[in-house]
Amino acid sequence: MSVLINVQPLPEAKLPKPDIRKLGVPQLAEWLLSHGFKAFHAKQIYKWLWQRSLKDFSEMTDLSLALRNALEAHFGFYPLSVQEVQKSQDGTLKVGFSLYDRNLVEGVLIPTEDRMTACISSQVGCSLSCKFCATGFMDKKRNLTAPEIYDQVFEINQQALKNYQARLTNIVYMGMGEPLLNYQNVLSSIEKITSPDGLGMSPKRITVSTAGIAKMIYKLADDQVKFNLALSLHAADDEKRNKIMPINDSNSLEALKEALRYFYRQTQNRITLEYILFGNFNDSPQDADNLFRFSQSLATRINIIEYNPVELAPQFQRASGRVLNQFAAYLADRGAIVTVRKSRGMDIDAACGQLANKNKV
C-alpha cells in the first residue's frame, strides 16, 4: 500500500542558501561583478545549470576553482529527485518525484510510434476540486518552482533515453495542478525548456492545459506565447460543467469562448478542446451537438478522451466504445477536427486524471 509523506514544507526564506537557478543571466552577471569576477562567466554558468542540468559546482570545469568555491559558498541547489519509476503494460512510465521539502509530485512518459511525450505537473496538489480527477481530491500544498518543473522534463527525457533510446518530442502541462494558477513559474520553465542554452525544444511542441481561467487566457494572449493551449472542457453546457468543475461558476462557457477567441486572434495558435466522455452524463447526441456548437466559432481541434476510473469518484463511468465512436463521428461528420485519445498507463494510475501522489516511500 502506498503511503504519503505528510510534512510541512520548508519555507523558502529558511533555505540554507539562495537557489542559484532562480537567477537569470543578468542577475548572475551582476553577482559576478560584485564579487570580483568577470561578467561573461554568467552565460557559462547558465549553460551548466540548464543545458546540462548540473547540480554540483565542482563539475563546472571551465570555471576557475576560485569561482566554483565562491558559488558553492553563496548558492545552493534544491532539485527534485526521482523516487520511483513504474512501467505500464503498454510501455507508459510514471515517475514519482520527491521535492526538497519532501513533498511529492508525479510525471508521465507516454511513448508512441512517432512521439515521446512528457506529461508534467505544475503544482503539489490542486485547488480546483474537479469531481472526476484524483488530484482534485488533494489539497493544494504549493506551486512548483520553474526549476522543479524543468527538472521533471529533464528527468523524464533521461527515462526516454534509457528505456526507449529516444528523446522527448512533446511536453504537455497536464499533470498535477492548474498551470495558469502558477503562471510565472510555468512560463519561466517554458522559457528555459525552449532556450538554446536549455533543452532547445520548440514551443510548438509544448501544450499547456487549463481547466479554464478566462482572465489568465487573456494574459497568455497579451504575452504573445508561442506554445499551444488546451482547454479541459468536458461539458459544453454550463449546468453540467458546473456539476463537475466548480471553476465554471466564475468562468462560464461564454466567458471562456470570448477568451479563446482573443487568444487565437493574438497568437494564431489553434486551441485544443479536451473532452472526457462519461457514460450517461455527457455522452448523448445533444451533448455532442453542444460541443460542436461551442467549437464552431473557434479555431479548435477536439480530443475525445476515455474516462479513467478514480477510486474517490465512483459515480463516473466510462462511456462504451460504441457510444464513444458515435460521439466522435457526429463531430467529424460536421467538419470538426476530432481525435480519440485512448487510455495509457491506467494499470499504474498514470492515465489522464489519475495522478494523486501514490508513490511508495
Annotated catalytic sites, by residue? 106, 352
Give the whole-angstrom CA distance, residue 117 versus residue 189. 17
Question: Which residues are registered as beta bridge partners of 98?
Answer: 81, 104
Read off φ and ψ for residue 273, nearest 5 degrees. Answer: -100, 120
Radius of gyration of the CA atoms of the chain, in A = 21
Residue 263 has phi, psi (to 5 degrees) of -60, -45
Amino acid at 188: S
Give backbone dihedrals phi and psi of 251, rounded to 5 degrees, phi first: -140, 75
Q: Is the sign of the CA dihedral 120, 122, 123, 129 positive or negative? A: negative
Q: Report which residue type is found at 219.
A: K
Contact 122, 145 (CB under 8 A): no
Q: Long-range pairs for 193-201 at CB < 8 Å and ≥24 separation?
A: 193/150, 193/153, 194/226, 195/50, 197/43, 197/46, 197/47, 197/50, 197/51, 198/50, 198/51, 198/150, 199/50, 199/51, 199/153, 199/154, 199/157, 201/168, 201/171
Residue in 278, 279, 241, 280 with CA at minimum distance from that of residue 257: 241
What does residue 63 show for φ and ψ, rounded to 5 degrees? Answer: -105, 150
**Which residue is it, cell 559576478?**
32
CA distance 290 to 153: 36
Residue carrying C-alpha cell 468562468: 251
For residue 185, the number of C-alpha atoms closer than 13 Å in the C-beta half-sphere is 21
